[in-house]
């Protein structure tokens, strides 16, 4: 017979709250991933900004950098890339 003493009673209300929070978090993550995927700026710069690191220039190696001059990074608003992940 399984040990029932460690089991915690969880109400339907608790589960509803838990799954509601999880759903909201998952939707937020999905939106951030879509933003990253659809953004045409430097991928490396986006990731560095996400981790709040200094971005001095584009990497010039990613798909976002193809077909664009290196000076374009300076034209990007500072919030581009922060809405990721």
**Interface residues toward Zn ion, by CB under 5 A:** 42, 44, 58-59, 62, 65
Nearer to Zn ion among residue 42 and residue 84 (C-beta): 42
Burial 21-48 (b: 16+ CB within 10 A, else e): eeeeeeeeeeeeeebbeebebbbbbbbb
Nearer to Zn ion among residue 2 and residue 77 (C-beta): 77
Q: Which residues contact 71 (CB under 8 A, 6 or more apart)?
A: none
The least distance separating Zn ion from the CB of residue 42, rounded to whole angstroms, comes to 3
Nearer to Zn ion among residue 59 and residue 76 (C-beta): 59
């Amino acid at each position: 017979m399984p040990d029932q003493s460690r089991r915690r009673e969880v109400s339907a209300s608790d589960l509803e709250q838990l799954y509601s929070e999880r759903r909201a978090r998952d939707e937020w993550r999905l939106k951030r991933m879509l933003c990253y995927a659809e953004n045409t700026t430097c991928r490396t710069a986006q990731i560095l900004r996400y981790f709040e690191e200094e971005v001095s220039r584009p990497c010039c190696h990613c798909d976002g950098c193809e077909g664009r001059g290196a000076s374009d990074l300076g034209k990007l608003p500072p919030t581009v890339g922060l809405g990721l992940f």
